[in-house]
Amino acid sequence: MAGLRLDGMKFLTREECIKDFTLFKLAQGVSERTIKDYDWHLGHFFKEFPEGWVDYAIVKKAVIRYFANGNHLAPVTHNIRRKYLKCFFTWTVQEGILSANPVDGIPQHREEPRVREIDEIKLKELIAAIW
């Protein structure tokens, strides 16, 4: 698998980079569930765009195509995918692997407010607390 070499840093394959990122997130104390979510979202992106690791220009094009292809997705799905990729690519920038975050410029989609049901007893307690 092709890797990146920037400013004399070691040559990192995509797999090495994801492994280092995962270790970083574990060191931050994220849950195993969150790690699995990162694995899924990064795996989904790179499965669809395996060439998306050769250089920044190609990564940027892959990200744009990824989100353009997902135009039919619900806003919440778009935003979740964006969140996980943005976090990963922010880390690559902080580590000097990429020069910029390819997700920058891809906006979040506006989500409809979620209506939540509340138990009648809880509602009465809330009203009683106001009075």
The domain segmentation of the chain, as residue ranges, is 3-130
Q: Which of 9-13, 84-88, 89-93 has the lowest mean pLDDT?
A: 9-13
Return mean pLDDT, the chain.
Answer: 86
CA–CA separation, 101 and 63 (whole Å): 10
pLDDT in tens, 22-78: 999 999 999 999 999 999 999 999 999 988 787 889 999 999 999 998 778 888 899
Predicted structure pTM score = 0.76
Which pLDDT score is estimated for 5? 47
Q: Tokens in use for 68?
A: 């353009």
What HEC string does 35-60 produce? HHHHHHHHHHHHHHCCCCCCCHHHHH
CA–CA separation, 101 and 88 (whole Å): 9
Which pLDDT score is estimated for 111? 66
Question: Above 70 in pLDDT, residue 1?
Answer: no
> How is the chain classified by DSSP, letter by letter?
--EE--TT---EEHHHHHHHHHHHHHHTT--HHHHHHHHHHHHHHHHH-TTTTS-HHHHHHHHHHHHHHTTTS-HHHHHHHHHHHHHHHHHHHHTTSSSS-TTTT-PPPPPPPPP----HHHHHHHHHHH-
Which pLDDT score is estimated for 97? 87
Q: For the domain 3-130, what is the CATH code?
A: 1.10.150
